Structure 1
């Protein structure tokens, strides 16, 4: 006996098209419109005040923007940033390796270093280095509690510029140690085990295997630290180092044009920060491509 045929209703194509061609109604969001209006009004009003308020003193800004004293202070700021970051990176690398050592004494010393320099304000550390001669008027080489063979005046051995570098560099080393340690821990333990199985020593493993791979993780936060250091150098004003902000202060102390001179310093800081930010972005893109290539090869 033949089975009965059941007609199944089929939706016509023109009915489906009629449903899909209906206009899509966008959800009205009056709050966004109000926010846009408020932001545009704030921008327009800010630009108006910026160029109409005589207190900003734009002619004075243009006059001192390339003043030799400003440029001299700018060079000191760059020197402090570069030297302090080099010291901080070297110290941070050593402290990070000590922190990961099997020796409990090295771990304790590195932990105490990080604890102290991260636990006290940088401003206080700079003041301590600036007034080091109060604690130790003379620095020399000799036998403890015995005769001194060579001796120097502390203020001659540690001038204000050196005190600023020591304060900035040693403080940065504590933060850099944690960044480097995080990078070293990001490398799998199998890499170290394989290199040791091939006859590499512990230091050779760090130098040729672990550190090159860890740099992919270390470099992006180091870029942030460089940008932060550039602005942090302004704290050396408390010990009288002639950086950008200090020279700016000396100028407006004479002509009483505080706001225009502070704008000059801010413009230079913004320019240098922008350059460093662009450089950081290029480095991050470069190393992210390297990570993508390594991941692709590993998946093959």
Structure 2
């Protein structure tokens, strides 16, 4: 921003007229008026009981649903990340069979709705009444009742995790391909196997590209868990819907659920920012120091 005064040829300060942004002020005033009007209609609506909102905000079933929502989000994200890395490596493999299977996995799970996948896993017993784990050509094995295994919680974690893995795979693949090719060639020159090269050289550098969208996916997962109510997973939305079906306080319970979703999203966004700053500074330091390979390869060579 310019701070020195503007002067003419004789050194006399020249007055500067400030630009009036009347259109900007009018647009802001109109937006605030509309937002305030809509908020007023909701707050003073006689059909909305804010006392019930306060009553159910810390209800035991609501708090239990919040914990289950966090559990499902964390486990599904972890499952999706692990499978996503595996599928991304398969996608980049030279083996056409592995690459083709990974491509099909990504296409299938990205092409079908999450809701359909959740209902499918929850009703898996229609196809397989029993789940059998058996050693080939022997009578030794384990057997489980599918209905007991595929509960609402298990179906939610599995369905959301498998779906998220397809999106993570593309994110991880982009991060891997963004690593400088010279790092890979240096690893090959030292006789590293492809698996060791991927584990020691490529993936650590790809993290600085993978982590930001990973945080975004986790934040999105917190809200996607609301679909779990169709399989009665005892999450926040499931418990809230069961309560309002009993007392007919639909809007009040939806507001309660929204407040908790916004709170969880705010906390996750804060943690994501801290994580990005930490890994961002580490990434800059590694690049200035010659990258991961510059630090690891001499040790491997020794």
Partner of 2:181: 189
SS in 2 for 1:56: coil
Contact 1:191 1:209 survives alignment (8 Å): yes
Give yes or no for the alignment of 1:263 onto 2:255.
yes
1:90, distance to aligned residue in structure 2 (A): 0.6
**How far apart, CA to CA, are the structure 1 residues paired with 2:130 and 2:256?**
40
Q: CA RMSD in A?
A: 2.2
Give me the whole-angstrom Cα distance separating, in 2, the residues matched to 1:141 and 1:200. 36
* Residue 92 (structure 1) aligned with residue 115 (structure 2): no
Residue 151 of structure 1, CA deviation: 3.5
Which of 1 and 2 has greater Rg? 1
SS of the residue corresponding to residue 11 of structure 2 reads helix
Aligned partner of 2:153 among 161, 177, 181: 161
Give 1:60's aligned residue. Answer: 52
Q: Separation in 2 of the partners of 1:136 and 1:171?
A: 21
Residues of 1 paired with 2:84 and 2:100: CA distance? Answer: 15
Matched residue SS, 1:25: coil
Paired position in structure 1 for 2:34? 42
CA pair 15-246 structure 1, distance change in 2 beyond 3 A:
same
Residue of structure 2 aligned with 1:51, choices 43, 46, 53: 43
Shift of 1:138: 2.3
List runs of 5+ in structure 2 lacking aligned partners: 1-6, 291-302
Assess if the C-alpha contact under 8 Å between 2:8 and 2:14 holds in 1. no
Indicate conservation of the 8 Å contact 2:66/2:235, yes or no.
yes
The 5 A counterparts of 1:189-268 are: 189-268=181-260
Aligned-partner Cα distance in 1 for 2:137–2:243: 48
In structure 2, do the counterparts of structure 1 residues 297 and 205 end up closer, same or farther at CA, with 3 Å as the change threshold? closer
- Name 1:17's counterpart in structure 2: 11
Alpha-carbon distance between aligned partners in 2 of 1:250 and 1:51, rounded to the nearest angstrom: 25
Structure 2 CA distance for aligned equivalents of residues 177 and 77 of structure 1: 24
Following superposition, the deviation at residue 295 of structure 1 comes to 4.7
- TM-score where L is the length of structure 1: 0.88
Cα deviation code 1:50-85 (max 9, x no counterpart):
432233321111111111000111111111001101
Shift of 1:248: 0.3
Quote how far apart the aligned CAs of 1:135 are.
1.4
Aligned length: 284
Stretches of structure 1 lacking an aligned partner (at least 5 in a row)? 1-12
- How far did residue 183 of structure 1 move? 0.8
Give the distance between the partners of 2:112 and 2:87, measured in 1 at CA: 18
8 A Cα contact 2:151 2:233, kept in partner: no
SS in 2 for 1:16: coil
Match of 1:4 in 2: none
Helix, strand or coil at the partner of 1:17? coil
Q: 2 CA distance for matches of 1:172 and 1:27?
A: 50
Query: TM-score by structure 2 length?
Result: 0.87
CA distance in 2 between partners of 1:141 and 1:51 (Å): 57
1:285-296 alignment to 2 at 5 Å?
285-296=277-288
